[in-house]
A and B are shown apart, each in its own frame.
Chain A
Amino acid sequence: MVGQPSTAPLAEAPTSPLIWELLEEAPGKQQKKPQVLGHPMRYMLELYQRSADARGHPRKNRTIGATMVRLVRPLVNVARPLRGPQHIQTLDFRLRPNQVTYQLVRAIVVYRHQLHLAGFHLSCHVEPWVQKSPTNHFSSSEISSSKPSLLSKAWTEMDITQHVQQRLWNHKRHGVLRLHFMCQQQKGSEGLELLWHGTSSLDTAFLLLYFNDTHKSVQKAKLLPGGLEELMERDSSLLLQRAR
């Protein structure tokens, strides 16, 4: 199977839920570790350090609000210049089919709202892509807040949970969330066209999906209060009576 590690012990317990998850998520061992550098990795490392200690124990005071967070990077798209001072980069985020056991609780797009390219300062924002729509803007109900990202002052986080849930979340196949990353030069427009050549791999935005596990195992019931162990505390003769 694609992505199945070659470690033999994993194959011995195919019915274990953990093993199935790992088989789905792990890249094949023969593949090199996917290289994810830059701001996405830095963001997730900081998220991890805030949420767990060095031994991997979840911190009691963690504020992550979810048991799983997936950072999705956009598929590479080439920016296309427009007339005037604006440039648009199309960002496609490929979303996995909705797993019944996980509930989406939050979707955040993190993007650079300030960009510096070859001495030019650009202001950027993110908008949804809706086919054949005259006005491609997030409605006030689709976004709840924008705030500076913890990454740096040049980054902003925008909550688009409702937008994702309404349009994409109940699909059973892979869906694509398409956003437009739009930038314009703050002063003048000369040279902007040249700037965007080769910026397809620029680290401009990524998507964060927060999930809670709805299929957690039921908390085990406590031992019956009238159990034998309690009786042993009092008197072994009582135990003798029960055994009879």
Chain B
Amino acid sequence: RAGSIASKIPGPSQEHYGPESNQCSLHHFQVSFHQLGWDHWIIAPNLYTPNYCKGACSRVLRYGLNSPNHAIIQNLVNELVDQSVPQPACVPYKYVPISILLIEANGSILYKEYEDMIAQSCTCR
């Protein structure tokens, strides 16, 4: 049964399995700090693009999703052993930082680099 699933795994040269628009992928999304309620103390940047990951993690995880081995196993478990074990989810894989300039309550001005603030790519895990 694993072999029947494995035979459907597309290689890097093959086309993606399923309609691409539904598959796990990175979505561009921009917010202002005003929308987050933080504009009274954040000076820069004006806009922030955290992005998000959304889409189906199909039973056959396509090449290039950077899914760990565990996700592949969990898919097999869900498919072949126990459906109460959930399928992997579409979540960020890599992040990049942003620099923020803000005013502290005592009037000090702070420049700070915050790690992992923007999703750069997605994975199923």
Q: Chain B at the A interface: mostly helix, strand, loop or mixed?
A: mixed
Is there an interface contact between B67 and A229, defined as CB atoms closer than 8 Å?
yes
Category for how many chain B residues contact A: 35 or more
Bound CA–CA A56/B110 (angstroms): 14
Is there an interface contact between A73 and B107, defined as CB atoms closer than 8 Å?
yes
Give the residues from 1 to 50 in chain A that come closer than 8 angstroms, CB to CB, to chain B. 2-3, 5-7, 18, 22, 25-29, 31-34, 36, 40-41, 44-45, 47-48
Is there an interface contact between A56 and B3, defined as CB atoms closer than 8 Å?
no
Chain A nearest Cβ from B91, distance in angstroms: 13
Is there an interface contact between B106 and A56, defined as CB atoms closer than 8 Å?
no
Q: Which of A31, A45, A244 contacts B2 (CB 8 A)?
A: A244
Give the residues from 54 to 70 in chain B that come closer than 8 angstroms, CB to CB, to chain A. 63, 66-69
User: Which residues from chain B contact A33 at a C-beta distance below 8 Å?
Assistant: 40-41, 103
Is there an interface contact between A223 and B66, defined as CB atoms closer than 8 Å?
yes
Is the C-beta of B98 less than 8 angstroms from some C-beta in chain A? Answer: yes
**B35-47 toward A: CB 8 Å interface, digit per residue (1/0)?**
0111011011101
Is there an interface contact between A48 and B111, defined as CB atoms closer than 8 Å?
yes
Is the C-beta of A150 less than 8 angstroms from some C-beta in chain B? Answer: no
User: Which residues from chain A contact B103 at a C-beta distance below 8 Å?
Assistant: 27, 33-34, 36
B interface residues, Cβ below 8 angstroms from A:
2-3, 6-7, 9, 11-12, 36-38, 40-41, 43-45, 47-49, 63, 66-69, 72, 76, 96-116, 118
